[in-house]
Chains A and B, each alone.
Chain A
């Protein structure tokens, strides 16, 4: 950390090279002067007028404090690679394997729309796993979390942006499936010769098992190892899907596994398997549309600097506080998966002293954190950074 931090005060304390001089310049420059002032001048009375004149030396002109780091470098690919732990390497390798599985499914999908649809889902899972690994790796760096002037909330929002891109991928994939299905359907229905000769003939059964098992296996490994979708699932929790995925960690894993199993069972179903195959494709496409739309909406609201919940009851309670006379402005918005920001401008009643205001502030802060923190019982809470500008009622 020391190398990319600013040359700050504590940078000198833990400097690796033991220097022969152990001086700390600050100590010399500030403290002794202050204590010496009275004695050196030879004034007997500290409060005499001459001493008072000189008290200007006691307080040096305030220097701008380096509250924020000068700049936090965004790691290059090479630096990121150097900082990766072995565990991160392993999950990266696995994620690539997951992508390979998805590609395998995709190239096996010649005969079956269902497999192609499933491959889209697996692609989504794999992409999410890759994003998780990337987030993990970037988390090694300070710039990811720490705010600087350039990036006031760190880079953590990048994950939301990537997630938004993935949800667009879901929508696109759903659309792609629909158009593929349409083409297939026309191919078989239209009088002209079908250019895929296997289009009316289902995939050989041995391959089907392979494909389905690969899908299930990769999903499970990713779910328990890389823990993809974990943060995405958190923002989806408040939706109707929570009923669906109550017992499972999140919707996406359930979806992939469910459809993989369905794919396994397809040959057992009565009637022509190709019909079922198309139905499966349609179902997956619908699921992708629904999930993609919902996920996209949730992430878009974050990117639009909005908070998805209803804050008006909290505001009403804040207003009901005896010392709050009114709220002038209130802005609640979510920065990324783990952080929300609330900015309030409140007017306090006349006659409130600073102690009351301070207490009021912490009360409001904890109220917001408790009511909107969403974390109860799950340990994955939403942190609220509350800023309250107070002013005393003027009339």
Chain B
């Protein structure tokens, strides 16, 4: 591997790309900035070795912000990180430090906004001591720390045989450092952002961040988060003894689900007890319904926790799809529920039995509706909800925030480009896209709320008008609404599960693929199959959260960039981001004169340039032994014919 990157011609641009933002930024900036010599040095150092970049940025930062203790602090960490990584692979190298690094700041704001940097410190040793030199299959994939826990394939470098021993399930389950590690992984792209920021004019950033923090703070306060974050801070302090509990609380999403689940469950318990005491059927059936909700919430909670698990032998691409799956399941459940409601409505109509015990019904559904309103606020808050944790940030210490914010900015950037329309979509109906799990839960709660409201309204109407069929009409209406609401969720999650490639990515992918054949020594290729990397997506999704928390900042930064006239940088990110999350396979046919290893490295480098981590099988021209059938055909025409079996 190392040899391939050592080639001067290919390695240099490659390194650029991988280091991405950091590098690209460092280039243009020297001129506007007052520290040209340092940045030039940095440039040189990056050329010499991938790790140089971080050093550079660090020094810059220090020189610029000597007054910010936190910044310096974090930076020193980053520095060490980057150094600790052997420079064998520039790409991986550049990334990992940034991940781990950036993670630390973002992690806290995200979760509880409460952690001080000292609290993060304990995580650091695990990061640094992590060996994982050779691993990093994907650039953005970060599970570096996890490798020590259970990835058998991650530990490739030190001793070959050990890797393949299957991991015991016990080790896979949960350990607090593990979760921390995953978190690190999410944030990795922040790292880029960070260096980026530093390169930028610092005044600018600072101001923006400040303002924003405050903004968000207000925003957050308007909702009910402050109490929660305090509460969860308290819980987080005591939870590490119960690993599962801690795992739930550490992540923002799962924490929210958990709180709402406990609320729902306690309400259900009270209701069940009351139903038992009064022997009321209406109450009891509502209790059963609540139980159903709790079950759906529980599934969502499990998915939210599981999606953070690292790739393992059993799940080679991680469990990032669990959330999509749970969202899909939730959508199907909603559909079935609405069908059932319709059925019952018709039954009610046919029978013509007026609903009985109207007052009881009214009370129960009102209470249930209130609970759902709380849930809706919680998850809806999540939806447009940058404010909460961010607010905490603003309160904490501005310097470090600023930093994280900027990361976020970069992220968002990536993100936008990445997902193209998808993302916009999501914005359209509020963040949902990436996290189908949360969207499903939100919809479920929404459906419940609609049900409660419909019951209340129809009961009132029945009481006042005396007609019996209000109930049925309300049921029909609600079921139609549920179907309409759940349909987009179903469609998007099904598309994801189908392993389809989004259109924007597809466009770039075609160009990239065409480039394969132009690599030297490549005669043709066959069975190119690529799919979105869910591990990165999981990370991205966490990023997503971050973004959301700071999304205001993001916009600002964005503008900022533009002000600088940074077209170039833009493109870079776009490029790497668009392909960032693709994995796949391709079989390449090498010409007779070309070395197999050489061809493999070329193709891999080419694909890695576009952010794809691909398993490349190189076959010799004329070697028809593979199932892909590429080698069997006569070489020149083979590439032109559609006959290389594409399935």
Residues of A within 8 A of B319 (CB): 304
Known: A175-B292, A341-B585. A68 touches B332 (CB 8 A): no
A175 to B307, CA, bound (A): 26
Kindly identify which residue among A67, A154, A335 contacts B644, using a CB–CB cutoff of 8 Å.
A67
A332 to B316, CA, bound (A): 7
Cβ-closest chain B residue relative to A386: B627
A236 within 8 A of B: no
A319 within 8 A of B: yes
Q: Digit string of B510-554 for contact with A (CB within 8 Å is 1, else 0)?
A: 100111011000101111111100100000000000000000000
Kindly identify which residue among A9, A145, A182 contacts B640, using a CB–CB cutoff of 8 Å.
A9
* B4 → chain A closest CB, angstroms: 9
Known: A8-B641, A186-B284, A329-B156. A148 touches B336 (CB 8 A): no
Query: Could you tell me if B627 and A365 are in contact, using CB atoms closer than 8 angstroms?
Result: yes
Query: Could you tell me if A161 and B497 are in contact, using CB atoms closer than 8 angstroms?
Result: yes
Cβ-closest chain B residue relative to A178: B288
B322 within 8 A of A: yes
Kindly identify which residue among B328, B353, B646 contacts A67, using a CB–CB cutoff of 8 Å.
B646
Cβ-closest chain B residue relative to A327: B164
A153 within 8 A of B: yes
Residues of A within 8 A of B253 (CB): none
Counting contact residues on chain A (CB < 8 A from B), the size range is 35 or more
B325 within 8 A of A: yes
* B163 → chain A closest CB, angstroms: 7
Interface residues of A in 280-330 (CB under 8 A from B): 300, 303-307, 310-312, 315-316, 319, 325-330
User: Quick check: which of B442-450, B475-483, B498-506 contacts chain A, the rest being far away?
Assistant: B498-506
Kindly identify which residue among A150, A187, A300, A391 contacts B600, using a CB–CB cutoff of 8 Å.
A391
Kindly identify which residue among B156, B617, B627 contacts A328, using a CB–CB cutoff of 8 Å.
B156
A385 to B281, CA, bound (A): 56
B241 within 8 A of A: no
Query: Could you tell me if B328 and A147 are in contact, using CB atoms closer than 8 angstroms?
Result: no
Cβ-closest chain B residue relative to A305: B317
Query: Could you tell me if A149 and B642 are in contact, using CB atoms closer than 8 angstroms?
Result: no
A311 to B625, CA, bound (A): 24
Query: Could you tell me if A303 and B164 are in contact, using CB atoms closer than 8 angstroms?
Result: no
Query: Could you tell me if A329 and B137 are in contact, using CB atoms closer than 8 angstroms?
Result: yes
A103 to B35, CA, bound (A): 78
A246 within 8 A of B: no
Residues of B within 8 A of A65 (CB): 517, 524-525, 638-640
Residues of B within 8 A of A306 (CB): 314-316
A5 within 8 A of B: yes
Cβ-closest chain A residue relative to B329: A168
Residues of A within 8 A of B464 (CB): none
Residues of A within 8 A of B279 (CB): 186, 190-191
Q: Digit string of B157-186 for contact with A (CB within 8 Å is 1, else 0)?
A: 000110111100000000000000000000
A195 within 8 A of B: yes
Residues of A within 8 A of B281 (CB): 183, 186-187, 190
B494 within 8 A of A: yes
B285 within 8 A of A: yes
Residues of B within 8 A of A345 (CB): 615
* B334 → chain A closest CB, angstroms: 10
B587 within 8 A of A: yes
Query: Could you tell me if A305 and B530 are in contact, using CB atoms closer than 8 angstroms?
Result: no
A6 within 8 A of B: yes
Kindly identify which residue among A307, A358, A387 contacts B620, using a CB–CB cutoff of 8 Å.
A358
A63 to B497, CA, bound (A): 33
Known: A147-B647, A179-B288. A311 touches B313 (CB 8 A): yes
* A347 → chain B closest CB, angstroms: 7
* A165 → chain B closest CB, angstroms: 5
B153 within 8 A of A: yes
A216 within 8 A of B: no
B623 within 8 A of A: yes
Cβ-closest chain A residue relative to B518: A62
Query: Could you tell me if B3 and A161 are in contact, using CB atoms closer than 8 angstroms?
Result: no
A134 within 8 A of B: no
Interface residues of A in 342-389 (CB under 8 A from B): 343-345, 347, 354, 357-358, 361-362, 365, 385-389
A136 to B527, CA, bound (A): 24
Query: Could you tell me if A326 and B156 are in contact, using CB atoms closer than 8 angstroms?
Result: yes
A386 to B518, CA, bound (A): 25
* A393 → chain B closest CB, angstroms: 9
B559 within 8 A of A: no
B634 within 8 A of A: no
Query: Could you tell me if A149 and B501 are in contact, using CB atoms closer than 8 angstroms?
Result: yes
B116 within 8 A of A: no
Query: Could you tell me if B513 and A64 are in contact, using CB atoms closer than 8 angstroms?
Result: yes
A141 within 8 A of B: no
Interface residues of A in 164-198 (CB under 8 A from B): 164-165, 168-169, 172, 175-176, 179, 182-183, 186-187, 190-191, 195
Query: Could you tell me if A312 and B313 are in contact, using CB atoms closer than 8 angstroms?
Result: yes
Cβ-closest chain B residue relative to A324: B160
* A105 → chain B closest CB, angstroms: 14
* A302 → chain B closest CB, angstroms: 10
Query: Could you tell me if B597 and A67 are in contact, using CB atoms closer than 8 angstroms?
Result: no
Query: Could you tell me if A149 and B639 are in contact, using CB atoms closer than 8 angstroms?
Result: no
Residues of B within 8 A of A335 (CB): 499
Residues of B within 8 A of A82 (CB): none
Residues of B within 8 A of A145 (CB): 647
Known: A183-B285, A305-B316, A328-B156. A172 touches B525 (CB 8 A): no
Nearest 5 interchain pairs by C-beta: A326-B160, A64-B514, A331-B316, A65-B639, A152-B529
27 contacts between A and B (CB under 8 A): A9-B642, A63-B517, A65-B525, A67-B513, A67-B525, A67-B644, A145-B647, A149-B510, A152-B501, A154-B647, A161-B328, A168-B333, A305-B321, A307-B314, A312-B166, A327-B164, A331-B153, A333-B317, A341-B529, A354-B596, A354-B620, A361-B617, A365-B626, A385-B585, A389-B615, A389-B618, A391-B1
